[in-house]
Structure 1
Amino acid sequence: MSITQVLRPSSELTVSATPKRQWWRFVALSVCLAVAIYFNVVLVNIELPPSNTLNVLYSFVTPWLFSYLPYLVASLLVLATPAPTRRWRWLELTLIIAGALILRVILLSALPHLSRDSWRYLWDARVTLYGYSPYVYPPNSPVFDSLRDVIYNNSRFHEVPTIYPPAAQAIYLLSYLIAPSNLLVLKGIFIVFDLVTCAGLAWLLHRRGLDLSRCVLYAWCPLPIVEFAMQGHLDVITLTFSVLAVACSFANWRGNRVMTGFLIALATLTKFYPILLLLVIVRRRDWAMLITCFATIVLAYVPYLILGHGSIFGFFATYASEQTPDAGIVPLLVSWLCNALGSDKSLTQILIYLVDLVVLGGVSLVIIWRRWRRQLGVEAGALVLTAAIFSISTHIFPWYTTALLPWIVLLIGPFWTRLHGLKSAGVAIGIAWYFVCIAPVRYLFDYLHNWPLYYQLVYAGPLIALALVAGVVLLRGRARFRWLVR
């Protein structure tokens, strides 16, 4: 098999594996899992001091990046070989799901040294149970002097209220009620959500007629494993509800549109951007889904409206307007251009808002148009909208990029085929996969402060590749137009 076929979906391969030879891929995946388990054992045994330094981060991030090797081998093996049949299909899926659980449980007991957000989750739950709104009172408020303990000491941003929406707060409360101040329980709940995401992706792959084992691209990816099982980031909940919403939108049972709207609302109530899923899922006169979605969001905020006397967004507005070096490509380019022209800070911020609105609005209109003309799938629309959100974001932390991964699992295809040549969609999705895989290096640049190098690694290469692909597509389109004219 040529290297240009490495990323060919299993359903497109014309060669079918004979039952007698299907065992070898299972064995190869088992070996990859064993190597991945070894790297996770190494990671969990790295003793990191409370305060991170560049050397400390190197000692953790380096083996973390090396753990991508068995993951990439397993992913390319699944993508480049025919899907198994009969019992081998279910054996492989069982191996992948069981491996996903093992890889996450290994890291469950490790303290979240790279990010301390999960400690803040428990603090928000404690504040709410004491009858205060986390959207109003920052942790360093004098009313909480008697509540300060290890949770307060390990959390950050004591001077600002929370930014996490109500559905996320509900999960924090559930964890706190099960075991107060126990971070292990909270991360255990996150692992359950993550396994549901894996199962949801397997179902969507089955519906598309693709190899179920392609869910290994998410299940064994080191980024969500470390960020959710070890660091304990709430984005795992967002991904689960988003995947379930898309899966539910394809169902035919009575009430599925109401459930789809409810799931989109739950995803939005953990992070705000999943509300854009309505653009790719909504149908004409889909009132049941829309009413359910917005009614759920409003009702979820009612308790905090009462508790906080109308204040429900906390620190979010300030957080979303910050200018940071790890921002998306759009605010970075606008800031660079404004600085070159000598614009002041306020004008630069206004221009960033305007350009963000144009980018997101333009992409949204294109998505709606192509969806209503049935020229774009739900998963592709979700990927494009998520990429658009990242392009205008003021922060792109490594765990944010996991939002791309479920749609990459469902869409990734060949870069090149003998019949059609270059596949622009395959290249674009491959670039998104690269963006996810390179994300852990972001931790190092907080101390290196060599942000131009970061931009070259994360943005320059992918943008150049996309520009070349766009050029090829335009040339191909012009050649086809000339042929039609003749």
Structure 2
Amino acid sequence: MGTVLVAGAVWRFGRGLTVGAVVAVAVVCQVPGLTHAPITSTDAYRYVWDGRVQLSGHSPYAQVPLDDTLAKLRDPILFPGLSPTQKSGVTGVPKNPAQLPVDDARTRINRPGVPTIYPPIAEAYFTVVALVTPWSAGTLGVQLAAALIAIALTWLLAVQDPRWAALWGWSPIVAIEAANAAHVDVLAALLIAAAVITTARRPKLAAILLGAAGSVKLLPLLLLPAFRTRRPLVALSTFIATYLPHVLAVGILVAGFLPGYLDQEGFSDGSSRSAILALLLPPEARQLTAAALAIALAALAFHRTRRDPIALTCCWLYGAALLIATPTYPWYGLPLIALAVLAHRPEWLAVPLAAYLAYASFGHPTRQGLIHLAALAVVVIVITLRRRIVAKSGLTAPPSATNTDERDTTHRHRDLGRVRRTASG
């Protein structure tokens, strides 16, 4: 409800907002989260550990937090029940990591018996933060870094449109998941937004940014169909290039615990995901249906991006992907909030909001499915009403700054083509 109230207030009273005002309030919104340890998850402790491990010359893809060979890296904040001189009994990577428990009372790091799941750009980010953060600060370093990224993205969005940017910078979801929980998804959101904004004037740079976003969290790669011509190849090349140093260092171990994580979380077989589909289909049919829907949406995005603004295509493609997979972790929706701002489509804010309600309903799959279904209903109803209003009035929605840039670039290319044809004739 907090996000909805912020959206309504900003839209009603925000006509006179300036870039400075939006950013200033965004700074204030981030401060409370820094005063408390992460609330919504323990991921930040893994971030701190991964950065510390890399600074020590080891690889988080090849060693697990409980590994006794890394005992000297333990401290009372990350390992309240295990000192550097105590033995955990763990050495090397376990043979069946997916069968290990998620938590261990000796440490605050989740899944301490398995390697990391995070891609290389995320790992590089953790390392940089660890380099400038003393051990005694615990998670404060990654919390502060996430808050600064959220503020930077607020500025980037405010340059496009201050009023719309407030929906990101002042969002309670962003305040909780950035400054408090320090989720790395905020970095992915920044890179995605930068890719969308720069795609008209510097398409290769935009593709590189998208590939880098995919190397923070894999989900941004879902946006590849929205980037036309050769851009997906550049994005994929960037993504692959980030893995090469780690492949050379640890080989196939570079996959970390990602396959096991996908299995544990139900992404591999659809047994505990696709909450909306679960209301109608048995487990064995969900994965096939979800895959078919994903392929259809990708094809539609590739087709529509030739006529629609890329911000709009990315927004509904990312939002639809979340509605299909329905991850219960609300921080997965951070990039969608940024895309909704760029596309001027506030109805998609219902999706991350629904994820929060579903997160609080853990263990109640039917309730979770109904919550996500309600978000889908909000999106469909608003889109339908908007189309009817536009059809009756004969008006079109005003383009965002990124949309205008893209259309201007298209017109410039057309004009240049006419000049060339005239000269050759």
TM-score (norm 1): 0.66
Residue pair 1:131, 1:307 contacting (<8 A) in 2 also: no
Residue pair 2:55, 2:131 contacting (<8 A) in 1 also: no
Give the Cα–Cα distance (whole angstroms) in 2 for the partners of residues 101 and 466 of structure 1: 30
- Aligned residue number for residue 338 of structure 1: 282
Deviations 1:291-339 (A, max 9, x none): 5433322221122112212322211122223338873335534xx6326
Residue pair 2:213, 2:220 contacting (<8 A) in 1 also: yes
- Aligned residue number for residue 78 of structure 2: 151
Give the Cα–Cα distance (whole angstroms) in 1 for the partners of residues 254 and 372 of structure 2: 35
The amino acid that maps onto 1:407 is: L
Instruction: Work out whether 1:203 is the aligned partner of 2:159.
Output: yes
Cα offset for 1:137? 1.9
The amino acid that maps onto 2:357 is: V
Shift in CA distance, 291/411, structure 1 to aligned 2, threshold 3 Å: closer
Give the Cα–Cα distance (whole angstroms) in 2 for the partners of residues 397 and 237 of structure 1: 16
Equivalent residues in 2 for 1:27-176 (5 A)? 68=2, 72-80=4-12, 83-84=15-16, 89-90=17-18, 93-149=19-75, 150-152=77-79, 153-176=107-130
Residue pair 1:132, 1:308 contacting (<8 A) in 2 also: no
Residue pair 1:323, 1:394 contacting (<8 A) in 2 also: no
Shift in CA distance, 471/160, structure 1 to aligned 2, threshold 3 Å: same
Give the Cα–Cα distance (whole angstroms) in 1 for the partners of residues 49 and 303 of structure 2: 44
Equivalent residues in 2 for 1:401-440 (5 A)? 401-412=333-344, 429-430=346-347, 432-440=348-356
Deviations 1:20-42 (A, max 9, x none): xxxxxxxxxxxxxxxxxxxxxxx
- Aligned residue number for residue 302 of structure 2: 368
Give the Cα–Cα distance (whole angstroms) in 1 for the partners of residues 381 and 52 of structure 2: 52
Q: Secondary structure at the match of 1:296?
A: helix
The amino acid that maps onto 1:433 is: L
Shift in CA distance, 387/464, structure 1 to aligned 2, threshold 3 Å: closer
- Aligned residue number for residue 414 of structure 2: none
Give the Cα–Cα distance (whole angstroms) in 1 for the partners of residues 179 and 384 of structure 2: 41
Residue pair 2:6, 2:171 contacting (<8 A) in 1 also: no
Instruction: Work out whether 1:189 is the aligned partner of 2:145.
Output: yes
Aligned partner (choices 213, 216, 221) of residue 270 of structure 1 = 216
Residue pair 2:147, 2:182 contacting (<8 A) in 1 also: no
- Aligned residue number for residue 203 of structure 2: 257
Q: Secondary structure at the match of 2:360?
A: helix
Shift in CA distance, 187/331, structure 1 to aligned 2, threshold 3 Å: same
Give the Cα–Cα distance (whole angstroms) in 2 for the partners of residues 363 and 267 of structure 1: 20
Cα offset for 1:356? 2.6
Cα offset for 1:126? 1.9
Shift in CA distance, 279/184, structure 1 to aligned 2, threshold 3 Å: same
Give the Cα–Cα distance (whole angstroms) in 1 for the partners of residues 154 and 26 of structure 2: 8
Residue pair 1:100, 1:219 contacting (<8 A) in 2 also: yes
- Aligned residue number for residue 395 of structure 1: 327
The amino acid that maps onto 1:408 is: A
Give the Cα–Cα distance (whole angstroms) in 2 for the partners of residues 471 and 142 of structure 1: 58
Moved more, 157-166 or 130-139: 130-139
Give the Cα–Cα distance (whole angstroms) in 1 for the partners of residues 119 and 312 of structure 2: 26
The amino acid that maps onto 2:178 is: F
Give the Cα–Cα distance (whole angstroms) in 1 for the partners of residues 336 and 174 of structure 2: 11
* % identity of equivalent residues: 23
Residue pair 1:162, 1:314 contacting (<8 A) in 2 also: yes
Instruction: Work out whether 1:301 is the aligned partner of 2:217.
Output: no
Shift in CA distance, 290/464, structure 1 to aligned 2, threshold 3 Å: closer
Cα offset for 1:74? 4.8
- Aligned residue number for residue 226 of structure 1: 176
Q: Secondary structure at the match of 1:312?
A: helix
Give the Cα–Cα distance (whole angstroms) in 1 for the partners of residues 366 and 288 of structure 2: 25
Cα offset for 1:94? 1.8
Would you say how many aligned residue pairs link Structure 1 and Structure 2?
Answer: 355
The amino acid that maps onto 1:440 is: Y
Shift in CA distance, 132/279, structure 1 to aligned 2, threshold 3 Å: same
Residue pair 1:172, 1:186 contacting (<8 A) in 2 also: yes
Cα offset for 1:72? 4.5
Give the Cα–Cα distance (whole angstroms) in 2 for the partners of residues 356 and 453 of structure 1: 20
Q: CA RMSD in A?
A: 2.9
TM-score (norm 2): 0.75
Residue pair 2:276, 2:326 contacting (<8 A) in 1 also: no
The amino acid that maps onto 1:293 is: A
Give the Cα–Cα distance (whole angstroms) in 2 for the partners of residues 143 and 272 of structure 1: 30
Give the Cα–Cα distance (whole angstroms) in 1 for the partners of residues 381 and 4 of structure 2: 25
Residue pair 1:110, 1:230 contacting (<8 A) in 2 also: yes
Cα offset for 1:144? 2.3
Give the Cα–Cα distance (whole angstroms) in 1 for the partners of residues 236 and 381 of structure 2: 41
Aligned partner (choices 195, 198, 209) of residue 245 of structure 1 = 195
Shift in CA distance, 388/312, structure 1 to aligned 2, threshold 3 Å: farther
The amino acid that maps onto 2:57 is: G
Q: Secondary structure at the match of 1:139?
A: coil
Cα offset for 1:124? 1.0
Give the Cα–Cα distance (whole angstroms) in 2 for the partners of residues 445 and 111 of structure 1: 23
Q: Secondary structure at the match of 1:114?
A: coil
- Aligned residue number for residue 425 of structure 1: none
Residue pair 2:198, 2:205 contacting (<8 A) in 1 also: yes
The amino acid that maps onto 1:217 is: L
Shift in CA distance, 133/79, structure 1 to aligned 2, threshold 3 Å: same
The amino acid that maps onto 2:312 is: A
Residue pair 2:10, 2:167 contacting (<8 A) in 1 also: no
Shift in CA distance, 130/362, structure 1 to aligned 2, threshold 3 Å: same
Give the Cα–Cα distance (whole angstroms) in 2 for the partners of residues 75 and 307 of structure 1: 47
Give the Cα–Cα distance (whole angstroms) in 2 for the partners of residues 436 and 198 of structure 1: 18
Give the Cα–Cα distance (whole angstroms) in 2 for the partners of residues 202 and 474 of structure 1: 27
Residue pair 1:265, 1:296 contacting (<8 A) in 2 also: yes
